[in-house]
Amino acid sequence: MISLEIHVRSLFTGELEFTGVALRAAFLSLLKQSDPELSKKLHDASSVQAYAIHPFDFGTCFKTQFVQGEEYSFTVHILDTEESGHSVRGIIMNRDALLDVYHQKMMVTQIDITRRSPDGLMSQWIKEEVNQDIVRLPFMFKTPTQLSQYGSDCACLLPVPERVFPALLRIWNTVSGATRVERVTDYRDWVEQNVSVSRHRIRTTELELGRKRSFVGFIGEVVYNVRNAQEPFGRLTAGLAHFAELSNIGKNRTAGFGMVRLLTRTENRSRELRGQVRADKTQPCGRQEVAEVRDGRTSTDVPITATGDRISLTKISTDN
């Protein structure tokens, strides 16, 4: 795995909407200069994509403020280095390139490279988490997240374990040099029996993407309990939780959606002592609705808000 932290200098002063979609386009444009075929393949591919983007830091409503002459950075995590390794070298050599981000120019000033051994990282992640038979994995979903529903084009707007962790496993299986786990169906069955949500505070938000497009997804905090954590699939689950911080999760994760941060034990314990699990206060914008959960599952494709142990349903009117 290779991570490229791309530093740019802003050539304008102003505010931009969530930059993930624009940065994906800018990255593919940069890649096109060294490998047009790979850039087109990544743009058109319908299979699991072997890269993810973490956009510029953002504040309220996922917007970013820029000042002319100041430097900013975003990160591209490249999982399949066998296919894209030589193209990465071309990107690095392309100093002083200009990126177009929502029609605003930014000059590349520096690219920092981090190389990671996937199996070495997985072993480290497992060692950090699995020291008892029950493990708690506190997630912060930082950007709007949609999960796929099997056999349907509808989006799942609840962070149910059997959709989160098998999806992460499919992404892991694209990583160059990683030990692949082919038994995704068996793993999903194991997750259904052994992983549950113990605490949560989530809500949905809607991001306008321009051209009459929008993206609805959930954000907030979820604590997953993993039973039988010392079993092989339990250890894998703990490792995948850390992997999510690099890969993102869900639909449009290559554009910075589905960004995850795994909370530290201290952060999670602090929230429990205060008797609350709070959604990220820097992201209060967006339409909020709720959806019903029965037996811990939902198939609704409408936005939801969930707090504590109670979730209910409100349909969204489509009339304008």
pLDDT in tens, 13-30: 999 999 999 999 999 888
For residue range 72-129, list pLDDT tens digits in order.
Answer: 999 999 988 776 666 777 777 766 789 999 999 999 999 999 998 999 999 999 988 8
Class of the CATH domain delimited by 2-115:
alpha beta
Domain with CATH 3.30.70.1890 in the chain: 2-115
The answer on pLDDT for 44 being more than 90 is: no
Angle at which helices 81-93 and 36-44 cross, to 10°: 120
State residue 96's pLDDT score.
73
The answer on pLDDT for 157 being more than 60 is: yes
Alpha-carbon distance 73 to 112, whole Å? 10
State residue 205's pLDDT score.
93
State residue 148's pLDDT score.
84
Which alpha helices (H) appear in the chain, and where do they start and end? Answer: 20-32, 36-44, 81-93, 118-129, 161-172, 184-194, 232-247, 265-273
Domain with CATH 3.30.70.1900 in the chain: 118-307
Residue 171 neighbours by CB under 8 Å, 6+ apart: 48, 50, 79, 243, 247, 249
Q: In the CATH hierarchy, which fold is given to the domain comprising 118-307? A: Alpha-Beta Plaits (3.30.70)
For residue range 289-317, list pLDDT tens digits in order.
Answer: 444 333 344 433 434 344 443 333 333 33
Question: Minimum mean pLDDT among 171-180, 194-203, 239-248: which range?
Answer: 171-180
Mean pLDDT of all residues in the chain? 82
